[in-house]
């Protein structure tokens, strides 16, 4: 009779795969973060009714609070499962370091832009046909939803109140034109 524990994959291999995937995600997001100055070189009024604005660390904290709590939980959980899973401590330490770097990147001030055809945020470009405004808007950010993503598609935009008011009026107009 075989021991059920013998059928489980090697904890070190599983840890290496998980850490490797997380490292790719962190690197991917960091690469997109570096692109924001290329995509949005200037802030303020743009041609064709476009508008570009920036945020600061405080507004990014307000924008990313849910992601920050999720990552904090992702940092703590492996420690509770360490003994049961027999995962080497080194993988959990690297996991936590990568998540800490990712949390720091969430707090870096961002640049945003809206044009007649696209929203630029987090190094990404979204067509207005793929987005909709959340019906009830929060006070300190703009909340867009990615169509067909359900609850997994919130796309919050940060910035100071006056920039957000300008951006929201443009976004509303651009989305209405799309529909």
Say if 112 falls within a structural domain.
Answer: yes
| H-state helical runs in 86-160 | 89-107
Q: Is the pTM of this model over 0.75?
A: yes
User: pLDDT-derived band of residue 1, with 50, 70 and 90 as boundaries?
Assistant: low
Say if 3 falls within a structural domain.
Answer: no
Q: CA 141 to CA 91: how far, in whole Å?
A: 36
- Could you tell me if 157 and 67 are in contact, meaning their C-beta atoms sit under 8 angstroms apart? no
Say if 104 falls within a structural domain.
Answer: yes
CA 35-41-42 angle, to 5 degrees, is: 145
Say if 5 falls within a structural domain.
Answer: no
User: pLDDT-derived band of residue 69, with 50, 70 and 90 as boundaries?
Assistant: very high
Strands of the chain (E only): list them: 44-45, 51-54, 111-114, 118-121, 124-127, 131-133, 142-146, 154-157
Say if 166 falls within a structural domain.
Answer: yes
pLDDT tens digits along 28-40: 999 988 888 888 9
CA torsion through residues 99, 100, 101, 103, sign: positive
Say if 2 falls within a structural domain.
Answer: no
Domain residue limits at 59: 11-178
pLDDT tens digits along 14-59: 999 999 999 999 999 999 888 888 889 999 999 888 999 999 999 9
Is residue 139 over pLDDT 90?
Answer: no
Say if 4 falls within a structural domain.
Answer: no
* CB-side neighbour CA atoms (13 Å) of 15: 19
For the chain, the domain total comes to 1
pLDDT tens digits along 142-177: 999 999 887 788 899 999 999 999 999 999 999 988
């Amino acid at each position: 009779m075989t021991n059920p524990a013998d059928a489980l994959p090697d904890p070190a291999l599983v840890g290496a795969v998980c850490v490797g995937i997380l490292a790719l995600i962190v690197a991917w997001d960091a690469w997109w973060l570096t692109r924001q100055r290329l995509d949005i070189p200037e802030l303020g009024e743009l041609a064709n009714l476009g508008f570009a604005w920036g945020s600061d660390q405080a507004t990014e904290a307000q924008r990313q609070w849910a992601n920050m709590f999720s990552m904090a939980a992702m940092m703590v959980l492996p420690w509770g499962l360490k003994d049961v899973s027999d995962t080497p401590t080194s993988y959990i330490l690297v996991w936590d370091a990568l998540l800490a770097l990712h949390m720091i990147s969430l707090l870096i001030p961002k640049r945003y832009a809206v044009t007649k055809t696209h929203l630029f945020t987090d190094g990404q470009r979204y067509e207005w046909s793929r987005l909709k405004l959340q019906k009830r808007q929060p006070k300190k950010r703009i909340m867009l939803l990615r169509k067909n993503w359900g609850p997994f598609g919130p796309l919050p935009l940060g910035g100071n109140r006056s920039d957000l008011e300008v951006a929201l009026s443009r976004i509303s107009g651009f989305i209405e034109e799309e529909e």
